[in-house]
Structure 1
């Protein structure tokens, strides 16, 4: 069961206090961990089968009999909403002879019926029917050979599962960041963009990338006009549970940029129009006033435009709050949505992975439709986003993420070079080192 019902959630302002800096060991981040099969196998046994992962959205399972499936490495997981209205998670495998039970990504069924020999389970995983039930010399398997259930919880509008039956609760796993993320109405956000890309790179390169902002001016040169990336003007925090956060001021150029009014105003034109700000007020060196003015304008007009910003700090109205959740998840939170990023291990190849990008949009009250960049038309806010899948370079995850995707295969190849000795990290890359040392701790358990 979930630790709380989202409908009863009492939101409060997030804790923004700076966390103590951790003591880091500084052990080498060895290249082989990105390509060695032995390292991949250890990660599977010690990390992937013991950490909380997201199967999908709670809104994908609104009705009794609904189900979704999801993959992680060689496993496939089945989540159902039972007749008792409870969401459960199971290994998606029939107990008769190991056939994958449900082969569709989602659906609704009265029973979960194996396509091979017709064994049928109810939505709570109990075996209810087998053909020729009397033909089993060891007795009927009904009620005995049930699906193998694993821990499952709902939080922040997501369905989470864990393959470790002795795992800590999700709230304990997340620690203090759960309350911080709860300051956003996550369960009200709608998935409006859904891309899965098979890439020629190890999953850790994705998490490394989203654990630092050092690369921003080189990989994302356009972002410097709307986002602060410098470690001197951002806040970085580490948590004992292995998670991190980064506060990055927005709505203006990075402090190192001299000028930049034209680029900032062009990038933010749609947002300025929505919040009734005149771009002409921010020329002639006045661009540094924009962030504060936009915060005040959102406070002033938010309710009238259908938004509830009452549990946001002023900074949340303009800034990017970026969380990396161990081992493989990133939330990049904004006042009107969340860029949700995840890398999943490949089934067999440590030099491949699956990269998932969702955009979760918070629509104002009363909104009925929006323009889908994927479907290239206006659609209802209740229309599920089309799941776009393909290889890197064949499908797009959006301009900024595509810039990251272009880097990771090159880095994967470079890690094999005889000329690469070991990492040499800047202080601002401490969250990257913290991630690897957390991974090492899990592998040592």
Structure 2
């Protein structure tokens, strides 16, 4: 089977779509071919370096802006050993500070979201206003040293972009816009802020957080773990682009893989794509190889009547998966009608465990009422299904983690189809070994 069979993909030139998502191929950087040490995934020492030099320095995804629309709305999120409160202020801005009482260390709120006029520690009723300032200490006169320095919780940088709120544990993180560049231009045309929550889950996985990042950074594994996907996406015509510490791949949907024979009948998954677009597969008279382009034409023509504005998107975006990774731990399957967003969070102490957040959003036709926001669910791997494709990844990753601890496995042997993994480790190395010293010590 010729795995390089070409389908009709016309990537957009800058002059043809000047204000839309860039679709042209970026030049691949030369990142070498060295083994990526397995110790990066299993070593407690490396985990400590990640925390000290990367997690506490980078910008991180905190939550969705519409979860904190009103003054006093807050999101409490955890990263490693830290818990962070992100709070909507009376002037509409957002502020972030550690979720810890300065008296005896009690956490002020459990992980989740809510609304409050002030944060009161349930232990001794030390009370903080929405900006983290101490506004009441019972029996303050019994503290000869007075209130803690500054009489306020430390402040973390917090900003909003793209319908989401971001924070950093680094007081000197710099502007969020500089950190995200060029993701703003790539993602803004999708108008994710117009999409409603449809799923919010956290799953505990027995693997290192980077193993999960890797799994969603390449389609080389489709033929192995997800063979059913070959009947509605082409994993052999995947465009890979690196943008400094961020990256993406573009995968054609509503077509079949070059690894399988072209079917004479419409595969069930492509049938579903047509139905969701508003087409009737029973009336379709074209070839299976024509469906992708015909779905694009149909959505372009009928989108306005369906209350869906696709005017900022190019034709390929009406069918294809534009998959983005925002360093260090955000993975996004971005489509015209929905976004699947995943956040990989490290365990506080164990490099062999992680938290996997699943956030899904759907474009609601203009004028239609948004569905009720789903309740957040947290559970361990195996307690319930998270969908066939994600179940397959979740089943595989713990065995990957165990294998990485073998003395016979020195590290990752990365090919061209896994270029994003190499780019990710380059970005990680730049944080952990900024002077280039020690990068090969593991």
Per the normalisation by structure 1, the TM-score is 0.90
Change in CA separation of 1:85 and 1:287 when aligned onto 2, cut-off 3 Å? same
Match of 2:346?
A: 345
**Paired residue for 1:255, among 258, 270, 276?**
258
Find the residue that maps to 2:190 and give its secondary structure. coil
Contact 1:93 1:101 in 2 (8 A): yes
Match of 1:304 in 2: 305
Note the C-alpha offset of 1:261: 4.9
Aligned counterpart for 1:277 among listed residues 266, 276, 279? 279
5 Å matches for 1:12-411? Answer: 12-103=19-110, 105-139=112-146, 144-230=150-236, 233-240=237-244, 242-262=245-265, 264=267, 266-280=268-282, 286-368=287-369, 381-411=370-400
CA distance in 1, matches of 2:41, 2:101: 34
Aligned counterparts of 1:140 and 1:386: Cα–Cα separation in 2: 38
Query: For 1:344 and 1:17, how far apart are their aligned partners in 2?
Result: 31
**Would the aligned equivalents of 1:342 and 1:357 in 2 still touch at CA under 8 Å?**
yes
Alpha-carbon distance in structure 1 between the residues aligned to 2:191 and 2:183: 14
Shift of 1:422: 3.4
Unaligned runs of 5+ in 1: 1-10, 369-380
Question: Residue 311 of structure 1: CA displacement?
Answer: 0.1
Q: Distance in 2 between matches of 1:128 and 1:55?
A: 26
1:428 to 390, 404, 417: 417
1:244, 1:323 within 8 Å by CA — same for their partners in 2?
Answer: yes
Query: In 2, Cα distance between the equivalents of 1:288 and 1:210?
Result: 26
Cα offset for 1:197?
Answer: 0.8
1:440 and 2:422 are equivalent in the alignment: no
The 1-side partners of 2:263 and 2:375 are apart by 36
TM-score normalised by the chain length of structure 2: 0.90
Q: Secondary structure at the match of 1:343?
A: strand
Matched position secondary structure for 1:183: helix
Q: Is the 8 A contact 1:318 1:335 kept in 2?
A: yes
Aligned pair count reads 417
Aligned partners of 2:254 and 2:273 also within 8 Å? no
**Aligned CA-pair RMSD:** 1.8
SS at match of 2:66: helix
Structure 2 Cα separation of the partners of residues 310 and 346 of structure 1: 42
Greater relative contact order (Cα < 8 A, sep 6+): 2
**Are the counterparts in 2 of residues 197 and 355 from structure 1 also a CA contact under 8 Å?**
yes
Supply the distance in 2 between the matched residues of 1:17 and 1:259 (Cα, whole angstroms).
27
- Relative to structure 1, the CA distance from residue 65 to residue 442 in structure 2 (aligned partners, 3 Å threshold; closer, same or farther) is same
Instruction: Map Cα deviations across residues 281-332 of structure 1 (whole Å, 9 max, x no partner).
Output: 557x810111111111111110110100000000000000001111111111
Contact 1:389-1:395 at 8 Å conserved across structures = no
Cα deviation for residue 140 of structure 1 reads 5.1
Is the Cα contact below 8 Å between 2:233 and 2:256 reproduced in 1? yes
Q: 2:405 aligns with which of 416, 427, 432?
A: 416
Using the TM superposition, give the Cα deviation of residue 152 of structure 1 relative to its aligned residue in structure 2, in angstroms.
0.3
Shifted more, 105-114 versus 301-310: the winner is 105-114
Cα pair 2:265 2:288 within 8 Å, conserved = no
- Higher mean alpha-carbon deviation, 273-282 vs 390-399, is at 273-282
Correspondence for 1:374 = none
CA deviation profile, 1:92-115 (whole Å, cap 9, x unmatched): 111222221122522211111111
Distance 2:399 2:392 in 1: 12
